[in-house]
Chain A
Amino acid sequence: MASSGSDSQKKTTRKAGAFDIRVFIGSLIGIYGVVLVLVGIFDKDDAQLAKSDDLNINLLAGIGMVIVAAGFITWARLRPVIVPADPDGPPSAGPHGH
């Protein structure tokens, strides 16, 4: 729980950084969204559009994914995961791999 990083622990905590799954989800869905928006704008093949009765689903889904991705990244920025640094060992237990 993010809330477990209480005030008394503040000195021995750190942000989870790159290994925050929300950043991963946001990045993947974001890349998908951007690619789909580009395809939706530039690839106007009639046969492809006819599949969905001219609903440009690439563009719509792409916009939706960009919004969702932005939501995840914002969430991760506003409430970063606080990880208690090794509570059993000394605080200088060596560099963490992030």
Chain B
Amino acid sequence: MVLAATSELRLDTNWVDYLLIAVYFVFVLGIGVLAKRAVSSSIDFFLSGRSLPAWVTGLAFISANLGAVEIIGMSANGAQFGIPTVHYFWIGAVPAMLFLGVVMMPFYYGSKVRSVPEFMNRRFGPTAHLVNAISFALAQLLIAGINLYLLARIVEIILGWDLWISLLVAAAVVLSYTALGGLSAAIYNEVLQFFVIVAALLPLTIVGLYKLGGYGALKDRIAATPGGADQLSSWPGTNLTGIESPLMSVVGLVFGLGFVLSFGYWTTNFVEVQRAMASSSISAAQRAPIIGAFPKMFIPFIVIFPGMIAGVLVGQVAQAKASGDPNFDYNNSLLYLIRDLLPNGMLGVAIAGLLASFMAGMAANISAFNTVFSYDLWQTYVKKDKPDDYYTRVGRIATVAATLIAIGTAIFASNYTNIMTYLQTLFGFFNAPLFATFILGMFWKRMTPTAGWMGLVGGTLAAVLVGVLSEDALGPMSLGIIGLGGQGASFTAAGAAFFADIAISIVVTMFTQPRPEAELRGLVYSLTPKQDFHDADEGQLSWYQQPNKLAAVGLTMVIILNIIFW
């Protein structure tokens, strides 16, 4: 995403704002120091997980995703498209999170793996493992760099600091707490970050609605813009998908976004799954994403709504909407709204919230990277059988190295923003076929190791092919042979990856040798005794602690929300 190069977004900060921002950083670093102390004192809060309540892992689960792309990008979508943006939450996240908790988490947790790529290794062997681990590790470095760049850029825009200085300060802060307290510091900071973001965005939304005269007035004003009433109902969302036929738009949303893209992201992305895997029991691990789904349902109201409000209340954004300017960059909408509506005081909270969101995004990437690097690459292929503290050291060194690489990537991004966007799309293609391979592997015992890696590679290539043939998914590399652009292109690419992966996996399995069934206990549904997937005491839990019942409540609520905003 590209943010404005203008100085018109310089926020009018005073000492109170800086005080509030400083207080936040004291807490962030304090968590790092205290987490380190807890780690050294023989009780590891994180790995034992016995004291980590499900609401903490649940909030960390969604906070790890509540980064720059979510806050800035989704408010921009809200300003440009309106209510249909809710699909990224109610179709594109909640069902997959519930599915992860109910269906897939018992495999991850029950097989005692320490990472998602490690599951790949146990189920399909080293080739699929290497494809998954290396593409994941590289993607994390890239995304960490992009998050860092966006963070430094926002500090440059709103506070007027030099890009270099904010880059180094931000990297130093993230490095100090992740290297000190490791994953537990990252998780605790993610929970803290969640509340700071709510404290920043909820008052902003309230002021916006107050100024307009309520939600009804907001609807009237938006309906009067050229985008019309399409911006006020979630279905069929043709303006969001860029697919003209309403039926195909719904298919694209439900299958492309809701099924392939979102299930691929939420159920196989180790950045997310790592949070849930840290729990104390199978049912607690299952509950983490399910509990996270509840706040996730309501985040649109404090992220998309400010975007929609900016679309009618902020001069620059409203003009662009009224004239239908295709080149206008909506990514600044939220910043404009903060500038126009918040007085000193709340302004400091809002800046702290933005910084919190960007830093936690980067910290999540780095903590997932160092786990995969230390366990899946270094321990598995380079130095086996060293004592445990050796790998902790490797993890700390990997954290420092990842931060340095992220700084390099961020500097590259500051010069070649477009290339970074396309690279990110490209890495997204690695994610697309993962869900197909995992779900086939978990429920089809015959599926062979060769089918595992060939499905992944073939699916990725299919997605890249659609990207190249589309109008603009990969920028200058796209040829425009099929008439699909924007979101429609990425939905189609993900769908192609899914089907190619399944087809290749089935065909290759027919001609290759499956693994012996004895090796697949805990990895394949039909070969795993039922008690491996449940805690012994699950029957004694109250209804809201039982994953399936909690998930049913969540599903009902998200369906009701969909009906209300139809």
- B contact residues around A81 at 8 Å (CB): 51, 53
Contact between chains at B211 and A52 (CB < 8 Å): yes
Give the total of B residues in contact with A, Cβ under 8 Å: 45
Which A31-74 residues have a C-beta within 8 angstroms of B?
31-32, 35-36, 39-40, 43, 45, 48-49, 51-53, 55, 57-58, 60-62, 64-65, 68
Known: A1-B280, A57-B343, A58-B345. Contact between A24 and B188, CB under 8 A?
yes
Asked if B341 CB lies within 8 Å of chain A CBs, one says yes
Contact between chains at B345 and A43 (CB < 8 Å): yes
- A contact residues around B126 at 8 Å (CB): none
- B contact residues around A25 at 8 Å (CB): 191-192, 195
Please give me the residue from chain B that is nearest to A49 by CB atom: B343
Please give me the residue from chain B that is nearest to A61 by CB atom: B203
In the bound complex, what is the Cα–Cα distance between A48 and B210 (angstroms)? 16
- B contact residues around A19 at 8 Å (CB): 34-35, 37-38, 45
Please give me the residue from chain A that is nearest to B36 by CB atom: A97
Contact between chains at B343 and A58 (CB < 8 Å): yes
Contact between chains at B199 and A61 (CB < 8 Å): yes
Which of A's residues lie within 8 Å of B, judged by CB? 1-2, 4, 16, 18-19, 21, 24-25, 27-29, 31-32, 35-36, 39-40, 43, 45, 48-49, 51-53, 55, 57-58, 60-62, 64-65, 68, 81-86, 89, 93-98
- Inter-chain pairs besides A32-B20, A48-B344, 4 sampled, C-beta below 8 Å: A1-B53, A24-B192, A58-B345, A84-B50
Instruction: Determine chain A's interface SS by DSSP, over half rule.
Output: helix
Instruction: Determine chain B's interface SS by DSSP, over half rule.
Output: helix
Contact between chains at B16 and A52 (CB < 8 Å): no
18 A-B residue pairs with CB within 8 Å: A1-B281, A2-B51, A19-B34, A19-B37, A19-B45, A29-B196, A35-B345, A36-B345, A36-B349, A39-B16, A39-B345, A49-B343, A52-B341, A68-B195, A81-B51, A95-B41, A97-B37, A97-B41
In the bound complex, what is the Cα–Cα distance between A84 and B51 (angstroms)? 8
- A contact residues around B42 at 8 Å (CB): 86, 89, 93-94, 96
- B contact residues around A64 at 8 Å (CB): 203
